[in-house]
């Protein structure tokens, strides 16, 4: 698997085969000038991509009475109108803090559970011999694309009869299960790429499989485990459909915003800051652990 993410900095510079006139200072200036349009175009695109999120941030900072009249740019032309009042109101409301805690419980809980269960299975698929191993792994690969809509109705009935409906645990278990195929796939491939000799010598030394797993595989597999954890955390933090289906009072932040959205128009001053809070945390996680996130992405789709 790709352990380093190729970014611009790791791309090897184009080899200069011959020192041709193109390397003279004048020509270099010309080349930069020729690239001007590309620079400008990319600048505009980057701006276009940032404006929506930035706009939501400024909207959330506008006083409630201005939101219905004007767009976020009012905050640019007249920054003095910006206020944290909406956020103060939001956090004064217990529903939102409860929703944030529920979201965190679900996201952290299922991520931890998934990492444990999937790395155990990933190790088994990579290094333990058992009958039907390859066939079983093919099933896991097949399950990668199963849409979760397929499970909603039976699990709804199951949760209803077992008391898991409207509980954080029910949501955690569902998310863990649907992260499982990707988790096993990612970790099995990573574990399998660890050199055989390391494992062999540990086995010859008489180490048990459990010991090999905990003191050898887990530390070595940390980069892949980090990728999986970040992926799953973001995925479940951002979930709407699962929580909407299996929860009523157990509301993560997305569901809380969604129920506000149903009466849209009158309460953007509530929805905008709530949405911004809900996206700020995954955004921070993403910015902090970008590298792992992109690795997971590459491992999942590029072979």
- What distance in Å separates the CA atoms of residue 276 and residue 141, rounded to the nearest whole number? 35
Site for another protein in 162-181 (CB under 8 A): 173-174, 176-178, 180-181
- What distance in Å separates the CA atoms of residue 179 and residue 173, rounded to the nearest whole number? 10
Q: Which residue, 10 or 80, is less far from another protein as judged by CB?
A: 10
Site for another protein in 91-120 (CB under 8 A): 116-118, 120
Report yes or no: 29 and 23 within 8 Å, Cβ to Cβ.
no
Site for another protein in 239-258 (CB under 8 A): 239-241, 244-245, 254, 257-258
**Residue 59 CB contacts under 8 Å (≥ 6 apart), including other chains:** 67, 71, 72, 75, 268, 272
Site for another protein in 140-159 (CB under 8 A): 140-147, 149-156, 158
Residue 74 neighbours by CB distance under 10 Å? 18
Site for another protein in 29-58 (CB under 8 A): 35, 38-39, 41-42, 45-46, 49-53, 55-56
Report yes or no: 67 and 46 within 8 Å, Cβ to Cβ.
no
Of 79-87, 90-98, 205-213, which segment contacts another protein by CB under 8 A? 205-213
Of 68-76, 77-85, 92-100, which segment contacts another protein by CB under 8 A? 68-76
CA dihedral 3, 239, 159, 172 (to 10 degrees): 40
User: Least distance in Å: CB of 225 to another protein?
Assistant: 15
Does position 233 interact with another protein (CB under 8 A)? The reply is no
Please identify which residue in 94, 219, 249, 264 interacts with another protein, judged by CB under 8 A.
264
Please identify which residue in 268, 270, 273, 296 interacts with another protein, judged by CB under 8 A.
268
- What distance in Å separates the CA atoms of residue 86 and residue 8, rounded to the nearest whole number? 40
Does position 184 interact with another protein (CB under 8 A)? The reply is yes
Of 75-83, 84-92, 94-102, 125-133, which segment contacts another protein by CB under 8 A? 125-133
- What distance in Å separates the CA atoms of residue 292 and residue 294, rounded to the nearest whole number? 5
Indicate the helix (H) or strand (E) that contains 207: none
User: Least distance in Å: CB of 44 to another protein?
Assistant: 11
């Amino acid at each position: 698997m790709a352990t380093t993410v190729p970014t611009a900095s790791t791309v090897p510079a184009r080899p200069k085969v011959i020192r041709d006139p193109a390397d003279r200072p004048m020509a270099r200036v010309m080349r930069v000038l020729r690239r001007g349009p590309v620079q400008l175009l990319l600048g505009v695109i980057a701006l276009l991509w940032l404006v929506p999120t930035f706009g939501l941030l400024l909207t959330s900072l506008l006083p409630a009475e201005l939101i219905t009249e004007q767009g976020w740019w009012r905050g640019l032309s007249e920054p003095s109108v910006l206020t944290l009042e909406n956020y103060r109101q939001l956090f004064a409301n217990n529903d939102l803090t409860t929703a944030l805690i529920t979201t965190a419980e679900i996201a952290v809980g299922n991520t931890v559970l998934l990492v444990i269960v999937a790395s155990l299975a990933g190790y088994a698929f990579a290094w333990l011999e058992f009958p039907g191993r390859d066939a079983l792994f093919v099933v896991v690969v097949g399950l990668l694309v199963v849409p979760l809509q397929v499970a909603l109705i039976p699990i709804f009935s199951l949760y209803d009869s077992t008391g898991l409906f409207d509980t954080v645990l029910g949501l955690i278990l569902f998310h863990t299960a649907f992260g499982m195929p990707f988790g096993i796939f990612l970790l099995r491939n990573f574990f399998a790429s660890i050199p055989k000799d390391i494992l062999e010598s540990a086995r010859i030394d008489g180490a048990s499989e459990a010991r090999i797993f905990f003191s050898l595989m887990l530390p070595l597999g940390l980069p892949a485990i980090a990728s999986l954890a970040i992926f799953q955390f973001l995925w479940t933090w951002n979930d709407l459909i699962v929580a909407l289906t299996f929860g009523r009072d157990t509301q993560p932040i997305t569901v809380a915003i969604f129920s506000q959205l149903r009466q849209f128009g009158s309460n953007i001053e509530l929805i905008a800051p709530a949405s911004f809070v809900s996206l700020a945390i995954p955004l921070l996680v993403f910015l902090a652990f970008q590298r792992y996130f992109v690795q997971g992405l590459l491992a999942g789709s590029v072979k």
